[in-house]
Structure 1
Amino acid sequence: MVRKDSLAQLLDEGRRKIQVTDEELDEAKRRRRLLAASARRAFPGSTTYFNGSVAHGDANTPLTDVDLGVVLSNKDAEPYGPAKKSALPLMEIVRDVIHEDLDTEFPKLTIEVVGRRRAVLVRFGDPVTQGQDDFTADVMTALPHPSGRGLYIPNTKIADQWDRADPITHTQMVLKAITDTKVVFARTVRLLKHWNCTHSKPMCSWNIKALCLGCLDEPMPLINALQIFFTYAADEIDNGPTPDPAHVADPIPLNMTRREVHKRLCTARDYIDLAIEHETAGRPLSAQHALHQVLPELVPDADATQEEAARLASTVRTGGTAATGLGLTVGLVTPTRAWGN
């Protein structure tokens, strides 16, 4: 007998496949704490913050990296900033202290400073997820912004050497969204990050999360969260660049053209709409087939041939044509996935 799962069941099973394990998280957080302690030791009087997927509660497996920053005291930060000194000396200081503190436990540890745009790159030489090559960390050396809103973070690729951003507020916003949606926000982001990575050229993952902040603010089924996201995101990208949710930094880059991103979002939106339409009409296999086009590695494909034949026959019997109403599915029920490649 053919198994017929609801969209809710399919998405719940799919998101569990990519959910990071407790063991991965525990070890990643332990290493992050070690780095934070080193950063504070490097700059007495400083504070540290955590950001990225582990801090935001939306990490997928395999877990390959963590992100954190150290914010200098106002006194120590005074010589640095736009029109002053670059972050390079700070990056070298934190590099040296991390080596002093962690080389014994991690003998293969290496740290990159030269050529790094924003943060010191720590390579542990020891993966957190079994089977992965390594585990890394970005350690950012940041300055308090004179306005009191946000930080100056390094950008070695521009003349000023520093950008304005507010990663601390970003994390607070994400954690609030997770609470407000009763974890639906984090689960949706995990699915969207996986969807994004099925493309040969992914869009900026922070852009996806920022768009989620604009449309997911209450509990709902995951399939509805995906529908709301793709509809909202397609409209927003069509209108222009995604603004910084904290209203501090410049608009968020896409890593590809807006036209390409808009097309990709619209394709996924149409398949999600179709999946919901099929399920509402009592065609679970057709619904699964449509959802598979968006999340091919998480949702198994289903043979919807019999359901589609019955739908077409019913349409003809009621006086319609195969191309009317839900006949749109004829064009969409194909092996072409929502990848936009």
Structure 2
Amino acid sequence: MVRKESLAQLLDEGRRKIQVTDEELAEAKRRRRLLAASVRRAFPGSTTYFNGSVAHGDANTPLTDVDLGIVLTMRDAEPYGPGKKSALPLMEIARDAIHEDLDGEFDKLTIEVEGRRRAVLVRFGDPITPGQADFTADVMTAIPHPSGRGLYIPNTKIADQWDRADPITHTRMVLQAIEDTKVVFARTVRLLKHWNGTHSKPMCSWNIKALCLDCLDEPMPLINALQIFFTYAADEIDKGPTPDPAGVAGPIHLNMPRREVHKRLCTAREYIDLAIEQEKAGHPRSAQHALHQVLPELVPDADGTQEEAGRLARTVLAGGTATSGLGLATPLVTPTRPRAWGD
């Protein structure tokens, strides 16, 4: 007998499949602490900050990287910035300090500086998730912005060599949203990052989180959070690029043409709407089939054909027409319906 599960149960089971393990998280944070100690030693008086999925509380397994930054004092930062020196000397200092402190523990450690756009790339040569090729870290050397709002972060691909950003405020906003929603924010982001990765990565993870910051601000079931996100995100992407939530950096770039991203968001929204409709109508298999289209690797598919046949038979026996028994107001998902990734 096929077990019938609610959408809430399916999503809870799905997000548990991809949630980072305690062991992965503990080791990632340990290595992050080691890196932070090295760069603070290299730049006395500086401060470190953490960002990315581990800092934001929405990391998925397998965990393959961690992010952190070092902010120089105003005095040490004075020679650097747009129109002044690039971050390359700072990145080289960070590289040398990390080698000096960590080579003894990680004998395959390699560190890349040349050609890196924003951050020093640390390759540990030692994965923390079994089966993965490696575990890496991005270490960013940043300087305070003269206005006091945000930072200048490296961008070796532009003439100015520096971009304005505010990763510290970003992390604070995300953590506040997690608290306000009683963890629903982080769990929804985990599911959305998986959706994004499964469907050709139309958006970067930060774009997803930035949109979530605008529409998820209270506790709610995960299925409703997904519905709200896809509805809001489709409308916003249709209008234009997502602005920086901190109001400091420029708009967030998409990984695909905006029209294509909008198409994928709308298709996912349609399937989520249908899943909710089918569950309310008492059709759990049809609801699961619709949800599977959005999260195919997390939610097993279910055949709603028997449910449709049963509804049709009950309608005929009750004296209704065959057409009304097909439930045309909320049609069954069929193979002709567009895929969640817009193909």
TM interval, shorter chain, is over 0.9
The equivalent of 2:341 in structure 1 is 339
Residue aligning to 1:168: 168
Shift of 1:308: 2.1
Give how far 1:37 is off: 0.5
Cα offset, 1:53, TM superposition? 0.1
Distance in 1 between the 2:207 and 2:146 partners? Answer: 26
Q: Is the 8 A contact 2:285 2:302 kept in 1?
A: yes
Partner of 2:63: 63
- Partner SS state of residue 146, structure 2: coil
Secondary structure of the structure 2 residue equivalent to 1:25: helix
Shift of 1:338: 1.0
| Distance in 1 of aligned mates of 2:158 and 2:312 | 59
2:303 match: 303
Separation in 1, partners of 2:223, 2:338: 20
Give the TM-score normalised by structure 1.
0.96
* 1:324 corresponds to: 328
Whole-Å separation in 1 of the counterparts to 2:315 and 2:90: 69
Q: How far apart are the structure 1 equivalents of 2:161 and 2:16?
A: 41
Using the alignment, how far apart are the partners of 2:34 and 2:314 within structure 1? 64
Equivalent position of 1:195 in the other structure:
195
Q: Check whether the contact 1:289–1:333 (CA below 8 A) recurs between aligned residues.
A: no
Q: Is the 8 A contact 2:202 2:261 kept in 1?
A: no
**Deviations, residues 248-279 of structure 1 (Å, cap 9, x unaligned):** 00000111111010000000000000000000
2:205 aligned partner, one-letter code: S
What's the CA shift for 1:29?
0.1
Q: Is the 8 A contact 2:48 2:68 kept in 1?
A: yes
Task: Give the Cα separation in 2 of the matches to 1:318 and 1:152.
Answer: 69
TM-score with structure 2 setting the length = 0.96
SS at match of 1:164: strand
Aligned length in residues: 339
Secondary structure of the 1:39 match is helix
1:276-287 to 2 correspondences below 5 Å? 276-287=276-287
What residue is the counterpart of 2:121 in the other structure? 121
- Indicate conservation of the 8 Å contact 1:242/1:252, yes or no: yes
Q: How far off its partner does 1:202 sit?
A: 3.7
| Structure 1 residue 98, shift from structure 2 partner | 0.3
- Please say if 1:250 is aligned against 2:250: yes
Cα drift, residue 152 of structure 1? 0.3
User: 1:75-86 counterparts in 2 under 5 A?
Assistant: 75-86=75-86
Give the corresponding residue for 2:143: 143
Structure 1, residues 296-325: CA drift from partner, whole Å, max 9, x if none?
100000111011233456678645555831
| Equivalent residues in 2 for 1:145-294, closer than 5 Å | 145-294=145-294
> 2: CA distance between counterparts of 1:165 and 1:82?
13
Deviation at 1:337, TM superposition (A): 3.5
Aligned residues: CA RMSD: 1.5
Give me the whole-angstrom Cα distance separating, in 2, the residues matched to 1:301 and 1:102: 47
Q: State the AA in 1 paired with 2:151.
A: L
Query: What is the DSSP-based 3-state SS (H/G/I as helix, E as strand, rest coil) of the residue aligned with 1:326?
Result: coil
- When residues 43 and 288 of structure 1 are mapped into structure 2, their CA distance, relative to the original with a 3 A threshold, is same
Q: Is the 8 A contact 1:293 1:336 kept in 2?
A: no
Partner of 2:70, secondary structure, is: strand
Q: Distance in 2 between matches of 1:24 and 1:238?
A: 38
Report what 2:10 is aligned to: 10
Q: CA deviation at 1:289?
A: 0.5
Q: Which runs of 5+ in 2 are unaligned?
A: none
Q: Does structure 1 conserve the Cα–Cα contact (< 8 Å) formed by 2:141 and 2:154?
A: yes
Deviation at 1:339, TM superposition (A): 2.0
The structural deviation recorded for 1:99 is 0.2
Distance 1:98 1:311, change over 3 A: same
State the one-letter code of the partner of 2:341: W
* 3-state SS in 2 of match to 1:325: coil
Maintained 8 Å contact 2:69/2:141: yes
